Copies of this chain bind each other. A is one copy, B any other.
Amino acid sequence: MIFSSELIKGTMKTIVLKLLADNKKMYGYEITQRVKQLTMDKIQITEGALYPTLHALESEGLLTTETEYIGKRVRKYYSLSPSGKTRTKEKVIEIADFMETMQILLDIKPRTA
């Protein structure tokens, strides 16, 4: 099952931020592949969605970039800025809280891990 896109709306930024928090630096294509792998293909971040998001986060000052050349190919690495780290924590907490609220509202029992 691939989740309908409207569910992913609103979580894109947080997913990207969280991955960068766990991995120090990543480049765009790597992010799409990592999400695909971590979610067992349930969430597919397309490049048309990712790159605008990365640019938006960068212009908000949450990300910094460094460019590397792999042969002749450009690779653009993204990392969290200090404010990016703070914001990531806030956003993860917000989603966690939101999901608890939704579980009550939709009467979903969380699995005991």
Contacts and interface: CB of A to CB of B under 8 A. Distances in A.
Interface of A: 1, 3-4, 6-11, 14-15, 18, 22, 35, 38-39, 42-43, 92, 94-113
A33 to B, nearest CB: 14
Number of copies of this kind of chain in the complex = 2
Main secondary structure of the interface of A (DSSP, over half): helix
Given A97-B1, A111-B110, A105 B18 contact: yes
A94 B4 contact: yes
A105 B39 contact: yes
Contact of A106 (B18, B100, B105): B18
A11 B108 CA distance: 14
13 contacts: A1-B94, A1-B97, A9-B10, A15-B105, A22-B107, A39-B104, A43-B101, A92-B108, A95-B108, A96-B108, A99-B108, A110-B111, A112-B112
